[in-house]
Structure 1
Amino acid sequence: MAKAYWIARVDVHNDEGYKAYTAANPAIFKKFGGRFIVRAGKFSAIEGTSRSRNVVIEFPDYEAAMACYNSPEYQANIKVRQPHSQADLVIIEGYDGPQP
């Protein structure tokens, strides 16, 4: 079964206000089997547009990734994040087929 990923790109305009959002996330993600793969590391925007922060979170499968996003805990935490940042989020199923 293919894993799934949240791919988020975020611009934070109030670091202090954003801290409560990031502090609550690990417990929420853990509940659904999520783990950070990328968490705001060094990057180069080679093509297209970018935001200042990039995050990739791996989940056991697409259903778990969607359940996490739709959970009451995360929906409440979105309201904490929104006044302090602008974000793009994609939830995508990983590829589990043949490789070159």
Structure 2
Amino acid sequence: MTAYAIGHIRPDTMNEDILRYIEEIQATMDPFGGRFLVHGKEVEVKEGPWPGTVAIIGFPDIEKARAWYDSDAYQALIPLRTDHIAGEIILVEGVPADYDASKTAAALRAAAGL
């Protein structure tokens, strides 16, 4: 099942380290089948505060997403970003193509006795 690395990032000013990070990140993702789905785009905020932007990277599965994040190649790049950009990164597994939210709601309803 597809998995995602999602970054909520709040860049301040551009510098050489950030440019190097952007230049080199793809090579760290390639061995794990990662590819950018969202990167460098303006966000349209509909609810709540959302300073900054978002990056979404798709991976074939959660194991590959974890292996990428934990890889020596990516770990070496992380300080180039974290030393200059505030933000949070999460890894999350997607849902199958036939996912039905109403079934999840029914299970939650039953578990809560509602």
TM-score by length of 2: 0.80
Aligned residues: 99
Aligned to 1:80: 80
C-alpha contact (below 8 Å) 2:42/2:53 kept by paired residues: no
Q: Matches of 1:13 and 1:57 in 2, distance apart?
A: 22
Note the C-alpha offset of 1:51.
3.1
Q: Deviations over 1:44-79 (max 9, x none)?
A: 111233232211100010000000000011111001
Q: Matches of 1:73 and 1:90 in 2, distance apart?
A: 18
Larger relative strand fraction = 1
Aligned to 2:30: 30
C-alpha contact (below 8 Å) 1:11/1:51 kept by paired residues: yes
C-alpha contact (below 8 Å) 1:12/1:18 kept by paired residues: no
The alignment status of 1:60 with 2:91, answered yes or no, reads no
- Deviation >3 Å, runs of 4+: none
Note the C-alpha offset of 1:5.
0.2
Aligned to 1:12: 11
CA radius of gyration, larger in: 2
Structure 2 portions without partners, runs of 5+:
101-114
Q: Matches of 1:14 and 1:21 in 2, distance apart?
A: 14
One-letter amino acid of the structure 2 residue matched with residue 12 of structure 1: P
TM-score by length of 1: 0.90
- Which structure would you say has the larger RCO, counting Cα contacts within 8 Å and 6 or more residues apart? 1
One-letter amino acid of the structure 2 residue matched with residue 43 of structure 1: V
Q: Matches of 1:51 and 1:33 in 2, distance apart?
A: 29
Structure 1 portions without partners, runs of 5+:
none
